[in-house]
Chain A
Amino acid sequence: MISALVAKDVKLFFRNRFFATVTGLALVLYLAIYFLLPLQTENSVGVAIHLEDPAASPEFRQRLTEDEDFTLFPSKDEMLAALEDTDDYFVGMSVPAAAAQAVARGEATTLQAFYAPDVPAEAKQVFHELLVFIANMVNPDLMARLSPIEETEFVLGHDLLGQPLAVRDRFLPLLLLAMVMTEVLGLGTLIVREIETGTARALLTGPLRLPTFLVAKIVTGLVLAMSQVVIVVLVTGKIVVSPLLLLTTLFLGSLLIVGMAFFIAAISRNNTSVLAWGTLTLILFLIPALSIMLPGLASGWMELVPSHYLADALHRVLNFQAGWADVARDLFLLAAAGPAALVIGGAVLRRRL
């Protein structure tokens, strides 16, 4: 009985030209975006320096030459040309001729810093401190008095040194979540159409029981949501990263989304209101995944949005090869939120039917 209903729903979904087209195009588009995003990440911070001062510490010159983030230019013009014409440098500084002596005398010294146009204000602040430090170091006396400090590094979490996360990989959890979330609209519309056109009533005045009807809708939702994301993880090759853990995460996340679709279908009068409520939910649920792409967006309240745990688990599994134990908290919360959403959504929908 359930398989007949699911087959019918899937058939209806793909015979609806709008949904069939949007689903196909979205799949192609998402994959295209993924593959068009850069695979390599530029994680060096290029600093162009021209030391005009012949008295600058040779030791310091040597140190700058050895550090791959710094490039010494023989002239100010060449430094400026490199800053403007290439994407290799974020900031440039020319240390004037008398700077070393002036610093030694404790006199105020003016330095000119040149920034590439896309350097954000926060970065400028950091560069400012760096440039002041560099300018002070041109004085050989100061350089000689530098205390040798041993540094011990502690990396909290997964150490990304030497293996920076490519933009496309940062994007992947957002992409998967967006695909799963889109099914809120698809499933919600299918259910509302069944109510509007009376086919749900026709089914329920047959041997079909309401719980069976709802279970069939859950399976339909899971099939629609998971089939596309499975295609994406297959095409992107990410399926090889803990396939069972990945599929479990997507399954639990899909349950949550199906529960939301039930709720939206129950409170929506027609397809337009499904679209309105669905879009609102979509935006809210995508924010946690956006914060993975743009970590600056991350905020504590996002943990209140259940999709946070799906996005976080996907991010860790796909990008950091996290294991079951690493994402146990996310999975546990998803396993609680998914069925809870189903129960609440199912109860509200039951009243509507």
Chain B
Amino acid sequence: MTMIQVSDLSLTYPGTRDPAVDGISFEVGQGEIFGFLGPSGAGKSTTQRVLCKLLQHWSGSATVMDRSLTAWGQDYFAHVGVSFELPNHYLQLTARENLKLFANLYPQDVTRSEDLMAVVDLTADADTRVGQFSKGMMQRLSFVRAFQHEPRLVFLDEPTAGLDPVNARRITDHLQTLRADGCTIFLTTHDMHIADLLCDRVAFMVQGRLALIDTPRNLRLAQGRKQVQVEYRTGEGRRQELFDLDGIGGNERFAELLRSEEIETIHTQEATLEDIFIRTTGEQLL
């Protein structure tokens, strides 16, 4: 089942000449984690804002959950969760008060708040004012807020930004669980590791257009070299040699190296998403 279907979507901000989003088309299936990648200003956030109904005056068509985006009313958000890159909470309220306020806005009973706080390890701080939270804690609270009403589709912007590895792992693990339960996640990120780890498919956006869209594996294979690099140590220092993967089982030099030298690392040479990002967008990741 298709969750999001976007066709020829374009948007130009008032007072600007070039479109921020220029005729993009893509689909996202139910239960898919779809990564939306690209440099700053490429149009990722604009696309997400259109799909979050925060922007008007766009052209093209967008269908979400089998209904035109323009036909959805505010009930859209009963099925959709949104987490922004910068945490936006009421700092004078406690974490629990923040969640309760948002929970009260939904027509359905919201019962997942406490479970989700436990998942992201916020239970002990639930009654602390958010103004005293670290950035990572605020980020985790954003995560809980986006999912507490059990949405079918969630827009996440840099969900692991500012998180330590343990908490980042908690979030990614839970996202995988949610995917297994059929939740669709539209993920905007600069973190290629997270994209590679989580996303079923990724799209690279450059200057308002979609430059690439495929599974991370296909992209890695298509854009990488079918080679293996062996790093070994000799009396003269460290050395590297490259071997073609095709027929490597019968490669005598490779077998000799494994037998006679002190091997330090062996790596296949498929491209990383970061390589593909840089190659596609022409920009270095920070």
A81 at the interface (CB under 8 A from B): no
Among B20-28, B101-109, B267-275, which stretch is in contact with chain A? B101-109
Given the complex of chains A and B, what is the CA–CA distance between A199 and B90 in angstroms? 7
In the complex, per-residue mask of A150-188: 1 if CB is within 8 Å of any chain B CB, else 0: 000000000000000000000000000000000000000
Query: Across the two chains, which residue of chain A brings its CB closest to B101?
Result: A8
B179 at the interface (CB under 8 A from A): no
Within 8 A of A (CB), among B40-99: 52-54, 74-75, 77-78, 80, 82, 84, 86, 88-93, 97
Given the complex of chains A and B, what is the CA–CA distance between A76 and B54 in angstroms? 86
Could you tell me if B84 and A15 are in contact, using CB atoms closer than 8 angstroms? Answer: no
A4 at the interface (CB under 8 A from B): yes
Contacts of B104 in A (CB 8 A): 1, 4
B156 to chain A, nearest CB (A): 12
Could you tell me if B54 and A207 are in contact, using CB atoms closer than 8 angstroms? Answer: no
A220 to chain B, nearest CB (A): 14
Could you tell me if B102 and A197 are in contact, using CB atoms closer than 8 angstroms? Answer: no
Given the complex of chains A and B, what is the CA–CA distance between A202 and B89 in angstroms? 8
Could you tell me if A209 and B74 are in contact, using CB atoms closer than 8 angstroms? Answer: yes
Could you tell me if A8 and B82 are in contact, using CB atoms closer than 8 angstroms? Answer: no
Contacts of B90 in A (CB 8 A): 8, 12, 199
Could you tell me if A197 and B105 are in contact, using CB atoms closer than 8 angstroms? Answer: no
Query: Across the two chains, which residue of chain A brings its CB closest to B145?
Result: A202
Contacts of A207 in B (CB 8 A): 74-75, 77-78, 105-107
A204 at the interface (CB under 8 A from B): yes
B188 to chain A, nearest CB (A): 14
Could you tell me if B106 and A199 are in contact, using CB atoms closer than 8 angstroms? Answer: no
Query: Across the two chains, which residue of chain A brings its CB closest to B107?
Result: A207
Could you tell me if A204 and B88 are in contact, using CB atoms closer than 8 angstroms? Answer: no
In the complex, per-residue mask of A188-220: 1 if CB is within 8 Å of any chain B CB, else 0: 000000000111011111111100000000000
Could you tell me if A198 and B86 are in contact, using CB atoms closer than 8 angstroms? Answer: yes
Given the complex of chains A and B, what is the CA–CA distance between A201 and B85 in angstroms? 12
Q: How many positions in chain A have a CB within 8 Å of any CB in the partner chain?
A: 20
Given the complex of chains A and B, what is the CA–CA distance between A108 and B119 in angstroms? 104
B10 to chain A, nearest CB (A): 22
Query: Across the two chains, which residue of chain B brings its CB closest to A3?
Result: B104
Given the complex of chains A and B, what is the CA–CA distance between A208 and B103 in angstroms? 11
Given the complex of chains A and B, what is the CA–CA distance between A305 and B145 in angstroms? 45
Could you tell me if A206 and B105 are in contact, using CB atoms closer than 8 angstroms? Answer: yes
Total CB contacts across the A-B interface at under 8 A: 61
Chain B contact surface mostly: loop
Could you tell me if A205 and B105 are in contact, using CB atoms closer than 8 angstroms? Answer: no
- Contact A206 to B106, CB < 8 A, known contacts A4-B101, A15-B92, A199-B88: yes
- Contact A202 to B88, CB < 8 A, known contacts A4-B101, A207-B107: yes
A11 at the interface (CB under 8 A from B): yes
Could you tell me if B88 and A201 are in contact, using CB atoms closer than 8 angstroms? Answer: yes
Query: Across the two chains, which residue of chain A brings its CB closest to B85?
Result: A198
Query: Across the two chains, which residue of chain B brings its CB closest to A196?
Result: B88
Given the complex of chains A and B, what is the CA–CA distance between A236 and B101 in angstroms? 37
Chain A contact surface mostly: helix
Most B CB within 10 A of own CB, among A1, A8, A11, A209:
A8
Contacts of A43 in B (CB 8 A): none
A16 at the interface (CB under 8 A from B): yes
- Contact A1 to B101, CB < 8 A, known contacts A197-B91, A199-B90: no
Within 8 A of B (CB), among A1-34: 1, 4-5, 8, 11-12, 15-16
Could you tell me if A11 and B107 are in contact, using CB atoms closer than 8 angstroms? Answer: no
B174 to chain A, nearest CB (A): 21
Contacts of A197 in B (CB 8 A): 88-89, 91
A195 to chain B, nearest CB (A): 10
Could you tell me if A208 and B92 are in contact, using CB atoms closer than 8 angstroms? Answer: no
Contacts of B54 in A (CB 8 A): 201, 204-205
Could you tell me if A12 and B102 are in contact, using CB atoms closer than 8 angstroms? Answer: no
- Contact A206 to B93, CB < 8 A, known contacts A198-B84, A201-B54, A201-B84: no
A341 to chain B, nearest CB (A): 26
Given the complex of chains A and B, what is the CA–CA distance between A335 and B99 in angstroms? 38
In the complex, per-residue mask of B100-132: 1 if CB is within 8 Å of any chain A CB, else 0: 011011110000000000000000000000000
- Contact A11 to B52, CB < 8 A, known contacts A206-B102, A207-B74: no
Given the complex of chains A and B, what is the CA–CA distance between A15 and B93 in angstroms? 8
Given the complex of chains A and B, what is the CA–CA distance between A197 and B87 in angstroms? 8
B94 to chain A, nearest CB (A): 10
Contacts of B75 in A (CB 8 A): 207
Given the complex of chains A and B, what is the CA–CA distance between A64 and B91 in angstroms? 74
Could you tell me if B105 and A198 are in contact, using CB atoms closer than 8 angstroms? Answer: no
B76 to chain A, nearest CB (A): 8
- Contact A1 to B88, CB < 8 A, known contacts A205-B54, A207-B77: no
A53 to chain B, nearest CB (A): 79
Could you tell me if A199 and B77 are in contact, using CB atoms closer than 8 angstroms? Answer: no
Q: Which of A1, A16, A199, A209 contacts B89 (CB 8 A)?
A: A199
Which 5 A-B pairs have CB atoms at the shortest separation, nearest pair first? A198-B88, A15-B92, A4-B104, A205-B82, A202-B88
The 30 sampled A-B contact pairs (Cβ below 8 Å) are A1-B105, A5-B101, A8-B97, A11-B92, A11-B93, A12-B92, A12-B93, A15-B92, A15-B93, A16-B92, A197-B88, A197-B91, A198-B88, A199-B90, A201-B84, A201-B88, A202-B88, A202-B89, A202-B145, A203-B102, A203-B105, A206-B77, A206-B105, A207-B75, A207-B77, A207-B78, A207-B105, A207-B106, A207-B107, A208-B105
Q: 8 extra interchain contacts, Cβ-Cβ under 8 A, other than A206-B77, A207-B106? A: A4-B104, A197-B91, A199-B88, A201-B84, A202-B89, A205-B77, A206-B106, A208-B105
